[in-house]
Structure 1
Amino acid sequence: MTANVMVIVERQFDFPRPEVFRAWTEPAEMAAWRGSPGWHVEQESVTSELQLGGRHHHVKVRDNDPSTRVTTDAVFTEWFEPDVFVARQRITGDPGIDPDQPLELRVEFTRMGREGTLVRIIQGPYDAEVAGYHSRGWELELERLQDFMTRTSA
């Protein structure tokens, strides 16, 4: 099967772009919310050089089975804070992703009104059979981001 599907997910947040961008990129903040329900990011696994050409690494762990781990290694190929970042990713441990087929993750942060931010995620290519699963995963993670932003900015 040929991986040729790009996943696109959007969500608007009532928080300024710099705050939302920081939640995505600062290791401690990212580790606090990333992962679909039933998963978490191992905080000590997160390393990130926040610049063009910088490397990023994190490990997601299944809550009820810590032996199930998904590792992301990436390089930032675009970096325009607080507007957009793009990373070329190698993901291992996810049965729906070929670790030898790099993915591209593009996350855009668009100002909406005075203090709002539209986050747009574009990631792929995926095989058609797993694209919907990963799209739903991003939707669930963005719900967790909303909860994190609400808790930390109050």
Structure 2
Amino acid sequence: MQEMTELVLSRQFTAPRSAVWAAFVEPEIIAQWWGPQGWTVQDGSVILEPKVGGRHELTMEQRDNPEAQVPLKAVVTVFDEHICLASADGPHEMTLDLVIHTKVDFKEFAGQTHVTLTQTPLPYEVIDTSTKAWNSAFAKLETLLSEYF
């Protein structure tokens, strides 16, 4: 059996919490930043039903090789507007046949938003890759938000 752990990342965004929240729940905004550098979100693939039990889906594709695709087919488990968004994805091949729980907490202070992302369970072997992917995606989000704030 693989050893499991949890991924926890924090990031400060120079934007109000309502804007950062929108970037995680509005399909047209999600499509602009989700995924690491070199990956895009397939046109029309983003679905986020804003309620517990709703779908949270999208398909990422590698910019240089659109055949390389990574689906997200999650179910929303927490939808606490402007405070917390959580979902469960899997089990399927892309989640290593696990149910991966992703939780994003949002806190605002002095016009900035502190985001904490937690994913669990993850095998130790994927922590480095997952950390780099999320940090890359958050850099894309930071660039997007900087255009407005």
Task: Measure the CA separation in 2 of the matches of 1:89 and 1:124.
Answer: 11
Give me the whole-angstrom Cα distance separating, in 2, the residues matched to 1:40 and 1:135. Answer: 18
Is 1:71 aligned with 2:71? yes
Contact map agreement 1:23 1:29 (CA 8 A) in 2: yes
Task: Kindly indicate whether the alpha-carbon contact (under 8 Å) linking 2:92 and 2:98 is maintained by their aligned counterparts in 1.
Answer: no
Which one-letter code corresponds to 2:132 in the other structure?
Answer: R
Q: TM-score, normalised by structure 2?
A: 0.94
Q: How many residues align?
A: 149
* Aligned with residue 121 of structure 1, among 114, 117, 122: 117
Q: Which residue matches 1:112?
A: 109
- For the aligned residues, what is the CA RMSD? 1.5
2: distance between equivalents of 1:56 and 1:143? Answer: 22
- How many angstroms does 1:43 deviate by? 2.8
| 1:108 CA displacement | 0.5
Alpha carbons 1:55, 1:73 under 8 Å: kept: yes
Q: Which residue of 1 aligns with 2:100?
A: 103
- Percentage of identical aligned residues: 27
Q: Which runs of 5+ in 2 are unaligned?
A: none
**CA contact 2:14–2:146 (8 Å) conserved in 1:** no
Measure how far apart 1:90 and its partner are: 2.3
1:130 maps to which of 102, 126, 140: 126
Q: Which 5+ residue runs of structure 1 have no aligned equivalent?
A: none
